[in-house]
Homo-oligomer: A and B are copies of this chain.
Amino acid sequence: MLLLLEEIRHTPLLWLLVFVPALFAAEALTPEAHTLLFVLSVLAIVPLAALLSHATESVASKTGDTVGGLLNSTLGNLTELVIAVAALRAGQYTLVKASIAGAIVTNSLFMLGASFLLGGLRYHVQEYNRVSARLQAGLLFLATVALLIPSAVTAVDSASTTFVQAVSVGLALLLICAYGLGLVFSLKTHQELFGSSEHGEDGETPWPLPLALITLAVVTILVALVSEVFVESVQEAATAFGMTPAFVGFIVVALVGAAAEMASAFSGARKNRLDLSVGIALGSASQIALFVAPVLVLLSYVLGPTPMDLHFWPGAVVMIFIATMTAALLTNSGRSAWFVGVLFLMVYLIFAMTLYLLPPRVA
C-alpha cells in the first residue's frame, strides 16, 4: 500500500487520480452537467488505465514467461474492454463499434507513428524485430478481412438480420481461435523468433503479487464505474464541443482508452527500444481486433439488449483496411526513421480531419 502511494507520488500522471473522487462527487451533485462529467471522466480514466496496466504487468512478471505473456495479452486492453462493456450494457452499439474501429486505427497509426517519430527525432535510424511486426500485421490483416467480407458480399439493406448475426458469431469464434493460435505460436512454439525485449517492460519495478491483484480488482471496478458516466455523457458533451459522434468514438474514446499504453510505447521509442513500441502498438491493435471485438459480440448475447453484430460502417472498414495496409507496408523493412513516423501520423490526421468535418447524419 505504501509502495502504491510512493509510486503515485513519483508519477505525475497518477496525480490525475484526484479526478476519480471529483467525478463521483460531481455526478452526485450535478447529474445533468454532461460536459463537466465528460471532462472529469476522461481525466479519471487516464490514471486508472495506467494503474491497471502496471498491475497487469506486475502479475504477469510473477507468473513465468508463458502465463505472463498470456495475461499481458488478455488483460492488456482491459480498459478498452471495460469501457466497451459499459457502452454495450447501455445498448450504444454505434459507440461500441466506433470505439473498436478507432482503437485499431489509433493504435496502429497514431501510437506506432508517434513512436517512430519520437524515436527518430533522437536516433538517426532505428531497427526492430520485423518478424514480430509481420505476425501482428498478419493478424490485423486477418481481422480486417473478417470485418470486410460480410459488408462486401452483401448489400446492407437487403441482408437479413439473421444472416449478419450468424456470420458475426462465426467470425467472432474464428478470430478468437486465430488469436489463441497466434499466442501459442509467439509464446510457445516459435518464441525464439520474437526476441526477449518484451520483458523488463520499461524498467518499472513490479509490485508484489497481493498488491497487484488487489489493485487489478479495485481499479477494474473503478474504471467500470467511471466508464458508465463517460458513456452516458459522451454524446451530449460531443454536441456541446461541436464534435461529430464519429469523431468522438473514433478519436476521443480511442485516445483516452490507450493513454497508458502510449506512455509506455513512446518511452520505449525514446530509449531506442523500438521492439517494445512496435509490440505494444501493433499487439494492442491486433488484440482489440481479434480478441476484444469478438468477445464483445459474444457478450452482447448475455449483457446487451439485443445481439451486436460485426457489421461496421463502410467508412470504418475502409479506415481499418488502410491502417492495416499502412502498417504492413511500412513495417516491412524492420528499419525506421523520423519520416516513417510522419507518414503514419499523416494518414491518421487525414482520418481525424475527415471525421471531424463529417456532417453528423452520415456516420
Contact = CB atoms under 8 A, between A and B. Distances in A.
Given A138-B330, A337-B190, A357 B178 contact: no
A318 B153 contact: yes
Contact of A358 (B146, B148, B154, B346): B154
A150 B354 contact: yes
A134 B338 contact: no
A158 B124 contact: no
Interface stretch (A9-17, A160-168, A270-278, A300-308): A160-168
A141 interface: yes
A182 interface: yes
Interface in A219-277: none
Interface in A327-357: 328-330, 332-333, 337-340, 342-343, 346-347, 349-351, 353-355, 357
A349 B153 contact: no
B148 A339 contact: no
Interface string A131-174: 00011011101100110111011110011100100110011001
A134 B333 contact: yes
B185 A337 contact: yes
Nearest to A192: B124
B148 A354 contact: no
A154 to B, nearest CB: 5
What is the interface of chain A mostly: helix, strand, loop, or mixed? helix
A152 B329 contact: no
Nearest to A185: B339
A159 to B, nearest CB: 8
Interface string A82-110: 00000000000000000000000000000
Nearest to A164: B357
8 contacts: A139-B343, A141-B329, A145-B347, A149-B322, A149-B354, A152-B314, A163-B357, A190-B337
Given A159-B362, A185-B339, 17 more contacts: A125-B190, A135-B339, A137-B329, A138-B329, A141-B329, A149-B318, A152-B315, A152-B319, A153-B319, A153-B362, A154-B362, A158-B362, A160-B359, A167-B353, A181-B342, A185-B337, A328-B329
